[in-house]
Structures are given as C-alpha cells and as structure tokens.
Amino acid sequence: MKLFFLPLISAFFLFSCSGDSEDDLKETPSTTGQEVNLIFEKDVKPLIADRCLKCHGSPTMFGAPASAVYVTFDQVSANANAMLARMSNGSMPPASEGMLSASFVETFNKWIDDGKLEE
C-alpha cells in the first residue's frame, strides 16, 4: 500500500530539483533571474575602465601596444574577441594587477553573446 505513493513522491522531488537548477543557470551578474541583454555603456564600459584602461587608454601606457586602445564602444567592439581570449586565459590584466573575477569575464562574454549592444 505504501509503495503506491512512491512514484508521486519521486516525481515531486524530480521537479523541484530541475526547477532549482534552471534558476541557477539563468542567473548572471547583472540580472536577477530575468533575461536581460547587456549593454556597453552600462554593463561593460565601467568594468573595462576599472581593470584595463590604466594601460589600454588613449594613449596606451606601461607597454600596451599603441593600437590596443579600449576606450570607445567601437574600439572595444572591434577587439572584443581578442580581449575575451586574454581575459579567459588569465593573461590579461597582467598578474601584477590581480586576477579578474569570474563574473567580470562572464559579463563580458554575455555582452558578446547578446550581440555587442551599444546602449
């Protein structure tokens, strides 16, 4: 008799678990459960300014190539893949500057996935 309830109970746990993990996957730094497209001016520019422009400003400093200026939307947009690659492999910013947080890289990556929106 008791076994009759077993499938019901397992189904309940199955559904409650899958619901949780879906919520986890959707969560990104600047969204709170809602799907929101990231935009350059609000979501990306402040991060780059904080961690990259010390060297990649205009003009570049501390040995960064003169062509690697990441101030404007056009400059960041054009170099986004190279920037993401260097962030992801941990080679930028230089080790002396301290590591980027995982959410920094995730935000930049999501901005690219969202279509590199300007504002």
Binding positions for ligand HEC, rule: CB under 6 A: 51-52, 54-56, 62-65, 67-68, 82-83, 86-87, 92-94, 97, 100
Gap between the Cα atoms of 55 and 70, Å rounded = 9
Reported in sequence order, the residue ranges of the chain that DSSP labels E, i.e. its strands, are none
Residue keyed to tokens 């309940």: 12
Provide the terminal-to-terminal Cα distance of the chain, rounded to the nearest Å.
62
* Paired strand residues for 117: 39
Gap between the Cα atoms of 47 and 105, Å rounded = 10
Closest distance between ligand HEC and the C-beta of residue 102, in Å?
Answer: 13
Contact 90, 104 (CB under 8 A): no
Q: Which is nearer to ligand HEC, 46 or 94 (CB)?
A: 94
Closest distance between ligand HEC and the C-beta of residue 92, in Å?
Answer: 4
Q: Which is nearer to ligand HEC, 14 or 78 (CB)?
A: 78
Closest distance between ligand HEC and the C-beta of residue 80, in Å?
Answer: 9
Q: Which is nearer to ligand HEC, 17 or 85 (CB)?
A: 85
Closest distance between ligand HEC and the C-beta of residue 119, in Å?
Answer: 20
